Structure formats: structure tokens, C-alpha cells
């Protein structure tokens, strides 16, 4: 049986509440995941929610494989990659050669400060979601998108008016 893990667009929650991240008004990567060399990953589920309180134009929200182009992000640490289905699953190892995910500012992390020049993509899911809404997509068995080592899975948004968001990806290795 494979192990599943969950990653959010922020650090592992301990004594403080999760902190939503602003979408901004240009395209922005909220969460980026880079599979380790030994573990292609399959996306089980992903979701996003927004803290808007007034009706406004929806934004584009997508789950995308940007091939080998990575954003510059706040690097995730080992504790941010949390076992999901098996509490005894191996913990993520450290650094840019970590397993099951590579960690670093050009690998797995959140809240992009620079998007990079994306020239090839594989769009896995695209939705228009109101800033007062939320979205969850669970992929059925046998239909889960696979992201190969060296590739880049991202949750990206584009809104006309900035709104705060929390997103996550559950994946299996």
C-alpha cells in the first residue's frame, strides 16, 4: 500500500492558527511541489478556500504541472510534509534532494515571490471560483494525475482583487 501525504500553503500548524496567503492581483503560485528523485507522485485530492466576504468577480484557480520551471517560494521544511493515511509513514527528508519531496526555494514551498518563465505546462484542473468560495477536487482511483521527478506541481491563482487563501494537496507515493 502506498503512503499519502498532505501539504498546505504554509508551515505546519503548531501553537498558532494557519495564516492565509494573499492571492495578489497577478498570477501567483500559492503552493509548489517537487517530487523527489525516487518518488513520482499521484495527486489524490487538492482544495482551496478563500476569505472574501463580499460577492466579486471569480478568479482563475488551477492545478498545473509547469514541467521543469519552478517559482521562487518560501521553502517548506520536513515537518510541513505531513503523513496522511499512515501516521507511521516515513517523514520527509531534508534539503533539495529530500524524499518524497525535494525542499528548497526552487523546489517545494509556498507563497511565490517570482513565477519564473513558464514555457510548457500540463493543466490538471482549472476552475473559476468566487472569492467567497471554496473548491475541493478528489481524483478517482486510476485517474490520478502523476507528476514525475524533476517536474513541478503548482496551485496557482489569478484574481482581479486580492483575497486571502488556504490551499492543500494530498498526494500518494
Read off the pLDDT of residues 76-123 as tens digits, 9 standing for 90 and up: 999 999 999 999 999 999 999 999 999 999 999 999 999 989 888 999
Q: Give the lowest-confidence range in 16-30, 120-134, 154-168.
A: 16-30
What is the rounded average pLDDT of the residues 36-57?
Answer: 94
Contact partners, residue 63, CB within 8 Å, separation at least 6: 43, 46, 123, 124, 125, 126, 137, 145, 153, 154, 155, 169
Determine the pLDDT at residue 15.
78
Reported confidence tier of residue 170, pLDDT bands at 50, 70, 90:
very high
Residues 143-172, mean pLDDT to the nearest whole number: 96
| Dist. CA 61–CA 58, nearest whole Å | 9
Q: What percent of the chain has pLDDT over 90?
A: 87
Return the H-helix or E-strand segment holding 37: none
Average pLDDT over residues 124-135: 97
**4 and 131 in contact (C-beta within 8 Å)?**
no
Average of per-residue pLDDT across 138-162 = 96
Residue 1 scores a pLDDT above 90: no
> What pLDDT, on a 0 to 100 scale, did the predictor assign at position 73?
97
* Domain carrying residue 76: 4-172
> Do the beta carbons of residue 31 and residue 167 sit within 8 Å?
yes
Average pLDDT value over all residues in the chain: 94
Q: How many domains does the chain have?
A: 1
Q: How high is the pLDDT of residue 39?
A: 85
Distances in Å between the Cα of 100 and the Cα atoms of 96, 124, 133, 149 are 11, 21, 31, 10
pLDDT at 14 over 90: no
- Give the residue-averaged pLDDT of 29-50: 96
CB 112 within 8 A of CB 28: yes
Task: Answer yes or no: are the C-beta atoms of 122 and 3 closer than 8 Å.
Answer: no
Amino acid at each position: 500500500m502506498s503512503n499519502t501525504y498532505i501539504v498546505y500553503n504554509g508551515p505546519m500548524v503548531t501553537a498558532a492558527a494557519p495564516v492565509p496567503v494573499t492571492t495578489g492581483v497577478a498570477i501567483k503560485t500559492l503552493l509548489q511541489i517537487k517530487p523527489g528523485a525516487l518518488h513520482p507522485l499521484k495527486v489524490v485530492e487538492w482544495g482551496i478556500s478563500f476569505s472574501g466576504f463580499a460577492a466579486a468577480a471569480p478568479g482563475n484557480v488551477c492545478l498545473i504541472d509547469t514541467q521543469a520551471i519552478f517559482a521562487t517560494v518560501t521553502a517548506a521544511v520536513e515537518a510541513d510534509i505531513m503523513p496522511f493515511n499512515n501516521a507511521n509513514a516515513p517523514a520527509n527528508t531534508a534539503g533539495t534532494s529530500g524524499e518524497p519531496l525535494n525542499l528548497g526555494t526552487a523546489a517545494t514551498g509556498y507563497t511565490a515571490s517570482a513565477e519564473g518563465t513558464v514555457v510548457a505546462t500540463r493543466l490538471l484542473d482549472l476552475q473559476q471560483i468566487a472569492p467567497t468560495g471554496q473548491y475541493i477536487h478528489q481524483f478517482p482511483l486510476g485517474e490520478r494525475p502523476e507528476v514525475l521527478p524533476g517536474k513541478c506541481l503548482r496551485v496557482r491563482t489569478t484574481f482581479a482583487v486580492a483575497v486571502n487563501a488556504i490551499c492543500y494537496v494530498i498526494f500518494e507515493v
